[in-house]
Amino acid sequence: MHTSQKSRVIIRRASSRLVLLTAIVLLFSQCAVLSKDNRYLTAALDEDQVPESQTMRTLFYPLAVPTGLVAMLIDGILIHPLVSLPRAADDATFVFTEIDYMGVLEIIAFPMRLITYPVVLAGDWIFRITVPVDL
């Protein structure tokens, strides 16, 4: 085996391991979506679209599985992050709470608050998307 072939094999193995690791991280990072309170579209489908009789429910399964998977994807990628954003913004506003004893130092602290607000907002939003919290 030549050196270029060995390097290709090493790159292929490393890339397949990276893809596997990324898939595992993505699967386990969506634990907030697995919480029933955070699955808005899936909960609506469960309430409205499930037939009452067992025979109709059995006939409904081939349609329900792909529909449920698409609903969970939409919940996880679109709806849950959008619903979590206002809560994260409310949490991040503590950066702008005034401290009574600051006085003139408030002029110095304000630019730092402008810098830290997006960082706190992004961190809180990512936390709320990945961890099921009701704070």
Return d(Cα 3, Cα 33) in angstroms, integer.
46
Domain borders along the chain are: 3-130
Could you report the per-residue pLDDT of 28-41, keeping only the tens digit for each? 555 666 677 777 77
Q: Residue 128's pLDDT is what? A: 84
Question: Are 89 and 121 contacting, i.e. CB atoms less than 8 angstroms apart?
Answer: yes
Q: Residue 33's pLDDT is what? A: 66
Task: Count Cβ atoms within 10 A of the Cβ of residue 103 and give its class: 0-12 exposed, 13-18 middle, 19 or more buried.
Answer: exposed
Question: Are 51 and 60 contacting, i.e. CB atoms less than 8 angstroms apart?
Answer: yes
Burial state string for 70-82 with b = 16 or more CB within 10 A and e = fewer than 16: ebbeebbeebbbe
**Prediction pTM value:** 0.61
As given in the structure block, the two tokens for residue 83 are 């619903």
Q: Residue 76's pLDDT is what? A: 80
Low-confidence ranges of the chain (pLDDT < 70): 1-4, 24-34, 98-100, 102, 134-135
